[in-house]
Amino acid sequence: MRIAYLTPTFPPYPGGIGMNCYYNAREMAKRGFEVEVFTPRYGEESEIRNQKSEIKFKIHYLKSVISYGNAALLPQLLWRLRCFDIVHCYYPFFGGAEMAVLARYFKNLKLIIHHEMDVVGEGWQKKFFSWHTRHVLPWILKNSDLVFVLSEDYFNNSDFGRLYKAYKKLPPWQVVPNGVDTELFKPMPNLTSPIVLFAAGLDKAHYFKGVPVLLEAIALLKKENFPVRLRIAGEGELKKEYQKQTNELEIQDQVEFVGLITHDRLPDFYSSGNLFIMPSVGQTESFSIATAEAQACGLPAIVSDLPGMRVTIEDGITGLLIMPGDSRDLARKIKMILSDPTRAAKMGQAGRERMEKMFSWKVMGERLETIYRKLTQLKFL
């Protein structure tokens, strides 16, 4: 069986969609499938860096006719996809998903649309996203064979889910969550205390991660004389704004911006702290891979009580939920966990066990292989 993965981003670009694609492709290649990945060419560096790795599947960096941000029109997919049995397309991928549908017209391949998140923007982008969701996305779905969603929770509360339910005769959907590499991300000795961690892109594409809320919470804890340090991993154009806020809150001695950390070095980063925090503030966040990775390393986690996001932890058992945008609630929950090391350790252990049982790539691979085989045999219901 030949499988093509279409993704708007791919490592070393940091982000959940690209990492999800990488691990799914790697897992399927391990299982004997012929796997190829198609992604836009955003620069020579990404291609060179990936050629030096030990990836066991082909990666094609395609030059786009038109590109903006992570959107790229790739007409060459029309003929590049003809030899595949399954095309697994991550969405949103403006310019890629449309070409996959057209390729399906020319060849009786099976098309899977893997919904990762709603698209939300400002100004003209918001208008474009709204128009695309109303007029183009239904056409994409009607011409697909199967839809993947990250969780039933996010599906039921997302713009994507509401649109899906408004139309009839759409393909069936399955819950296929993002996974975590539990072999790479695992508990290691932790000798530091107390340090909280955050990891995400600090660019405009990840504006919804809630960094300002996190910084405000650290400032509140400082006023309470509760000793805590924050380490922030990531790079992007918003970093200077966050550093400015750090100085204005007078917490620069407690906050460290450590820069971009490569995927293989993230386990060391997670081992440097006692608690991981993802205080997202928008519905764009559908699943936090960074939170899953941190829990696989044995850390308790605090995440926002948002659809999809809250599925990443088990409230009260592997971590705690907070009200989105509420820095006081976040500060209180940080203090609650770090003040009770025994409880924090139990949460971290429970998180590790949950990641192994539900989100490891081995578990995800077995699920995907079953779905792929049934789909190609026309037995999927």
* Per-residue pLDDT tens over the stretch 195-232: 999 999 898 888 899 999 999 999 999 999 998 999 99
CB 38 within 8 A of CB 3: no
Query: For 145-154, how does the pLDDT look when each residue is reduced to its tens digit (9 = 90+)?
Result: 999 999 999 9
Q: The pTM is what? A: 0.83
Q: What is the largest CA-CA distance in the chain?
A: 66
Give CA–CA dist 116/288, Å, rounded. Answer: 11
The phi, psi pair for 148, rounded to 5°, reads -105, 140
Number of residues that make up the chain: 381
CA 137/CA 122 separation, integer angstroms: 19
The fold of 2-179+360-376 is: Rossmann fold (3.40.50)
In CATH, 195-359 is 3.40.50.720: no
Q: Do domains 2-179+360-376 and 195-359 have the same CATH topology?
A: yes
Q: Where are the domains of the chain?
A: 2-179+360-376, 195-359
pLDDT of residue 45 exceeding 50? no
Cβ-based burial of 10 (10 A; exposed 0-12, middle 13-18, buried ≥19): buried
- What is the three-class DSSP state of 195? strand
Q: How far apart are CA 147 and CA 139, in angstroms?
A: 13
Alpha helices in 107-147 (DSSP H): 124-135, 137-142
Q: Is the pLDDT of residue 53 over 90?
A: no
192 has a pLDDT exceeding 80: no
From CA 45, how far away is CA 319, in angstroms rounded? 38
Let me know: does 90 contact 63? Beta carbons within 8 Å: no
For the chain, the straight-line distance linking the first and the last C-alpha, in angstroms and rounded, comes to 20
